[in-house]
Structure 1
């Protein structure tokens, strides 16, 4: 445990990390949100890639186009195996023209770093697992941007845009400028948290995941590594997949699916009314349709609040049409909800 988490433990004695590394401050989980809220996003880790060939190396390995990523523009992306299955998903940002940060699920950082390290030896760049070096702080609400600018002196100009002072990176996650991630060196995180928390409500990081679910943003964790091609998480729709950038690992499979194949499974948003029953299913859990014993999909992420669970799952189109989807040994049925973005007819 680094000094930042030790600091939070002293500030919030009942705080802990739950399954999936979500941070909870130990307060009432149904607490009201304010016009500015902050959360320590313990579910996230970082890879640092540094050197003059950083972007060039990642251009040949990942699904996003690094010609469009710089110190002002962030991006959603993923790294796939040769079969086109996602090993990690990430938000990419840059502290400088030669210093990249990939914010990813913490439980995928070690394996993703080890895999990429095998290929970076031929580049003028180095990679390391920087999870212990940086903290992701989520800031959201109507006054989020105002407070970030007040305490850091920087703020992005639009969705998936970023700013950096060379140390802190701030990424805007939405169109309305009410949701931001601050990637902060550990030795500066305590100071920033102290300043922000004087004007914001500290909430569990599951609130951040709930907003990812509402935004239709699915991410790869350890339980779902090597399970999905990017189109299954709708990355071709939400900006995590480029088809004009050239070759990258898994590109042939991903491109073939886009232009010649039929996508049989994709990401859906759903809800379960589970009352007082705890939601116990982990990411990757299989889903079923009616009495059929063959799996028709997998859970991507879920958050339970006030007797309901909202979730993202990769499901077959036919199963969704049947309106009879459930987890194994569970009678609660999924209610399919609308995503906040349209899916082209081809998908």
Structure 2
């Protein structure tokens, strides 16, 4: 436990961790229409790739274009195996010209480091799991930009732009400027938290996941590694895949699906009329009375009455409208994503 999590433990003595999510006891779950929401993102960790070849190395391994990633520009991305299946998904940013950061699900950090580490030996760069020293904080709400401007002299101005300072990195996730992630060393994160928290709604880490679900952003965790190609999570639509960058691990499969294949399963947003559920990512879903799986859960957050989720499903199953988990009669209600899927998809 680094200094930031120790600070939260002392500041909120009734807080606890549940399935990887930090929770404040008796917290309210505010609407994004409120003022400022702060979420300590315990579900995330960091890989640091350091050295003069850090971007060059990652260019040949991941789905995003590192020629466009800088201390001013972040990107969604993933690393795939040779079959085009996602091993890790991440937001990529630069702490400095020779330090790349991958913010990813914490339970994939070690395996991501080990896998990428096999190929970095011939590059002028090193990779390490930096999760013990770095922290991610979710900052959202109508007043998010205004509150951050009181601390940072410069902020990003568009989706996936980033700014860097000695206090840490700010990445803007939406066009409206109402959703940001702060990445920083634990001692800096404590200072940022102390400045923002007095006037903020303190939300559990799972609140941030509800915002991801609403935004249609799926991520790979340990239980869903090697399960999805990027197009199944709509990464070709939301900026997680470059088709002009050249070769990378799994590129042949990903490109073939984009230009010649027919995608049979993709990401959908849905609601389940049940609370208190805790299905892990990767859990199979079924259509009607058929015994064969028609998809897999990507993420789920259970509310007081309903559960919000993202799942990769077949188009036929969505059309049938009878999607459920095994041994459950509760049916999913599929909702519209906040972005359009091109008809070819």
TM class by shorter-chain length? over 0.9
Q: Secondary structure at the match of 2:39?
A: strand
Q: Secondary structure at the match of 1:340?
A: coil
- How far apart are residue 316 of structure 1 and its match? 0.4
- How far apart are residue 306 of structure 1 and its match? 2.4
* 1:91-240 correspondence to structure 2 within 5 Å: 91-240=91-240
Query: Residue in 2 aligned with 1:297?
Result: 295
Structure 1 residue aligned with 2:281, among 280, 283, 286?
A: 283
Q: Secondary structure at the match of 1:160?
A: coil
CA 1:285–1:312: 2 relative to 1, 3 Å = same
Work out the CA distance in 2 between the residues paired with 1:278 and 1:182: 30
Query: Residue in 2 aligned with 1:308?
Result: 306
CA 1:29–1:283: 2 relative to 1, 3 Å = farther
Query: CA contact under 8 A between 2:278 and 2:300: conserved in structure 1?
Result: no
Query: Residue in 1 aligned with 2:65?
Result: 65
Query: Residue in 2 aligned with 1:254?
Result: 254
Structure 1 residue aligned with 2:333, among 325, 332, 335?
A: 335
| 32-41 or 179-188: bigger deviation | 32-41
* 1:77-96 correspondence to structure 2 within 5 Å: 77-96=77-96
Query: CA contact under 8 A between 1:29 and 1:305: conserved in structure 2?
Result: no
* 1:41-52 correspondence to structure 2 within 5 Å: 41-52=41-52
Q: Per-residue displacement from partner, 1:38-69 (whole Å, max 9, x unpaired)? A: 01000000000111111100000000011111
Q: Secondary structure at the match of 1:321?
A: helix
Query: CA contact under 8 A between 2:29 and 2:203: conserved in structure 1?
Result: no
Work out the CA distance in 2 between the residues paired with 1:142 and 1:29: 17
Work out the CA distance in 2 between the residues paired with 1:29 and 1:321: 36
| 162-171 or 120-129: bigger deviation | 162-171
Work out the CA distance in 2 between the residues paired with 1:234 and 1:332: 26
Work out the CA distance in 2 between the residues paired with 1:319 and 1:200: 42
Query: Residue in 2 aligned with 1:24?
Result: 23
Work out the CA distance in 1 between the residues paired with 2:54 and 2:311: 33
- How far apart are residue 32 of structure 1 and its match? 6.3
Q: Secondary structure at the match of 1:94?
A: strand
Query: CA contact under 8 A between 1:96 and 1:166: conserved in structure 2?
Result: no
Query: CA contact under 8 A between 2:35 and 2:200: conserved in structure 1?
Result: yes
Matched residues, number: 344
- How far apart are residue 178 of structure 1 and its match? 0.3
- How far apart are residue 167 of structure 1 and its match? 5.0
Q: Secondary structure at the match of 1:103?
A: strand
- How far apart are residue 101 of structure 1 and its match? 0.8
| 307-316 or 21-30: bigger deviation | 21-30
| 152-161 or 215-224: bigger deviation | 152-161
Work out the CA distance in 2 between the residues paired with 1:240 and 1:255: 13
Work out the CA distance in 2 between the residues paired with 1:10 and 1:281: 31
Query: CA contact under 8 A between 2:286 and 2:293: conserved in structure 1?
Result: yes
Query: CA contact under 8 A between 1:95 and 1:166: conserved in structure 2?
Result: no
Work out the CA distance in 2 between the residues paired with 1:323 and 1:226: 27
Q: Considering only aligned residues, what root-mean-square deviation do their CA atoms show, in Å?
A: 1.1
- Provide TM-score, normalisation by structure 2: 0.98
Q: Per-residue displacement from partner, 1:194-219 (whole Å, max 9, x unpaired)? A: 11102211111111100000000000
- How far apart are residue 295 of structure 1 and its match? 0.3
